[in-house]
Amino acid sequence: MSTRWQISYGKLCVPVYRVYATPLKGITPIHESSFTGRDNVVFALEVDVEVFGDNFLSAYTHGDNSNVVATDSMKNFVLKQALVFDGATLEGFLAMLGQHFLATYPQMERLCLTGRELPFTATSVPDAATFKPSNVLFSRSHADYAMAMLDFTRVNENIVISVHRCGCIGLQLLKVTGSAFTHFVRDSYTTLPERSDRPLFLYLDVYWKYINSFDLVDPSFKHYVAAEQVRDFVQVVFHEFVSESIQHLVHEMGQRLLRRFPQLSEVSFEAQNRTKDPVATSDTDAKMKVYSEPFPAYGTIKLTLTRDI
């Protein structure tokens, strides 16, 4: 019997908690965000490692593990590299890891690394007559977080980033007025009423790619796009823009992001409509309403905008 194969294996969700990493400085300010850097006292993330290569085929076909790098070794490799990492970003850490992995293990033909931020925020503590962020105590946040995926391959003895994707994942945004959904197709299956002004509750993931992957790892951060700035930017668009649908909204977000960050080649969105159902309205003030959870199924909307280069 003739068969084909595609081989990969690796280690998922390697947790990394590095303290006192290099501070992130030199981020280009934008009007829509106050973010220009962070202290990186807590630099925490989890890493997925996926390795590709026909050199591992004999482990599948004959039980020959002579080329196999144990996934436990991969985990230890990630953790040891975290200690010597002198950069300041998630993308920079993955870039360093990828270079070192392929340089250390020549049997790996290709490597995909995915990192997800584990965000911590400084707690507020008294400082004379006011309050300030603590420099030693941090609270684990379960709100939105940054992610990055970098794919590494070998080209003429060089290790290069062949594919990349960055993102801000898990935004949950509720706009109480300034969103509509009307004039959609109505037929015998339609029960949804038209709403000229609804409180739109949106789950949103935003992704982006650079024209030049060097901007991911440039230590000057001249063209680096921080997830914090993207988060703030799309929130400003949501705040300002009166949309006729979620499709209308994410298209506006994408157009503005590409104008704001000319170093990006692509932005994409994955949105979920989590809008609540109206239950009651005040007799004395039409703005005062009560909402509750709708039927558990929810709408999903995706959009990718690619710049013509």
Q: What is residue 148's predicted lDDT score, i.e. its pLDDT?
A: 98
Mean pLDDT, the chain, as a whole number?
A: 95
Greater model confidence, 33 or 191: 33
User: What single-letter amino acid sits at 43?
Assistant: F
Place 309 in a pLDDT band, splitting at 50, 70 and 90: confident
pLDDT at 154: 94
The pLDDT, as a whole number, for residue 96 is 97
What is the per-residue pLDDT for 195?
Answer: 87
Residues 194-205: tens digit of each pLDDT: 888 889 999 999
| CB-based burial label for 300 (10 Å; 0-12, 13-18, 19+) | exposed
Kindly write down the DSSP assignment for every residue of the chain, as one continuous string: -------EEEEEEEEEEEESPPPB--PPPBTTB----B--SEEEEEEEEEEE-GGGHHHHHT---TTPPPHHHHHHHHHHHHHH----SHHHHHHHHHHHHHHH-TT--EEEEEEEE--EEEEEEEETTEEEEEEEEEEE--S-EEEEEEEEEEETTEEEEEEEEEEEEEEEEEESSSB-B-S---STT--PPPBSS--EEEEEEEEEEESSTHHHH-TT-SS---HHHHHHHHHHHHHH--BSSHHHHHHHHHHHHHHH-TTEEEEEEEEEE-PPEEEEE-SS-TT-EEEE---S--EEEEEEEE---
Structure tokens at 264: 């990006």
Is 71 known to be catalytic?
Answer: yes
pLDDT of residue 5 exceeding 90, the answer is no
pLDDT tens per residue across span 53-69: 999 999 999 999 999 99
Q: Are 205 and 268 in contact (CB under 8 A)?
A: no
Q: Residue 28: its pLDDT value, please?
A: 95
pLDDT in tens, 160-219: 999 999 999 999 999 999 998 888 899 888 888 888 888 999 999 999 999 999 999 999
Residues 82-137 pLDDT 10s: 999 999 999 999 999 999 999 999 999 999 999 999 999 999 999 888 999 999 99
Domains identified in the chain and CATH numbers: 8-166 (3.10.270.10), 169-306 (3.10.270.10)
Of the candidates 150, 166, 145, which has an alpha carbon nearest to the alpha carbon of residue 100? 150
Which tokens in the block code for residue 15? 């947790």
Tokens of 251: 């298209």
**Contact (CB, 8 A) for 148 and 164:** yes
CA distance 111 to 15: 19
Cβ atoms < 10 Å from Cβ of 251: 16
Query: Which tokens sit at 259?
Result: 């104008």
**Is the confidence at residue 1, as pLDDT, over 80?**
no
Indicate the range of 31-35, 192-196, 218-222, 280-284 predicted with least confidence: 192-196
Active-site choice (22, 71, 276, 289): 71
Residues near 277 by Cβ (< 8 Å), separated by ≥ 6? 291, 292, 293, 294
Give the list of residues 6+ apart from residue 258 with CB closer than 8 angstroms, or none: 264, 267, 305, 307
- State pTM to two decimals: 0.94
Length of the chain: 309
Structure tokens at 252: 């506006």
HSE-CB at 39 with a 13 A cutoff on CA atoms is 12
Model pLDDT, residue 107:
93
Task: Tell me whether residue 209 is one of the annotated catalytic residues.
Answer: no
Of 156, 167, 180, 170, the closest CA to residue 202 belongs to 170
User: Which of 11, 75, 175, 209 does the annotation list as catalytic?
Assistant: 11
